[in-house]
Amino acid sequence: MDFKLMPLNEKELPIFVPAMKDSFNQVARVQDSSLEDVLPTEDIYASLTCDNAHGFKAVVDHEIVGGAIVQIDDQTDHNHLDFLYVDTAHQNKGIGYKIWTALEQKYPQTVLWDRILINEIFIFISTVVALLL
């Protein structure tokens, strides 16, 4: 497997954004089949347009198979992983781990990586759904 984590460019967004949404939606539906759009497009674009945002695509054999969006604070080195996804057709192949380790190697000065764990997202979604019902 020829894996590379590369900067995301604007012309790739029409592929990147729907693939990220689909990945999050499919994982969420495992928890609750009634969930439809757990990651709004606006949230992805809001993350990508922050001043300190860096978007990355994960490429295997010249195909985008995942990616990540991070916020890098050069002043404090307390950075944030906004989103990390692996395309549903490529899950369970170690790609998520490769993305994460590539990010750690790219930003070795990081003192703290802040992130929301997937279980925390499901707890949040379940709580919101319960409150709305």
pLDDT computed for residue 32 by the predictor: 74
- Whichever domain contains 80, its CATH number is 3.40.630.30
Sheet with strand 78-86: strands edge to edge = 3-7, 53-60, 63-71, 78-86, 112-115
3-state secondary structure of 35: coil
Domain count, the chain: 1
pLDDT over 50 (residue 111): yes
In which domain, by residue range, is 26 found?
A: 3-132
Summarize pLDDT for 40-69 with one digit per residue, the tens. 899 999 999 999 999 999 999 999 999 999
Q: What is the pTM of this model?
A: 0.82
pLDDT computed for residue 122 by the predictor: 45
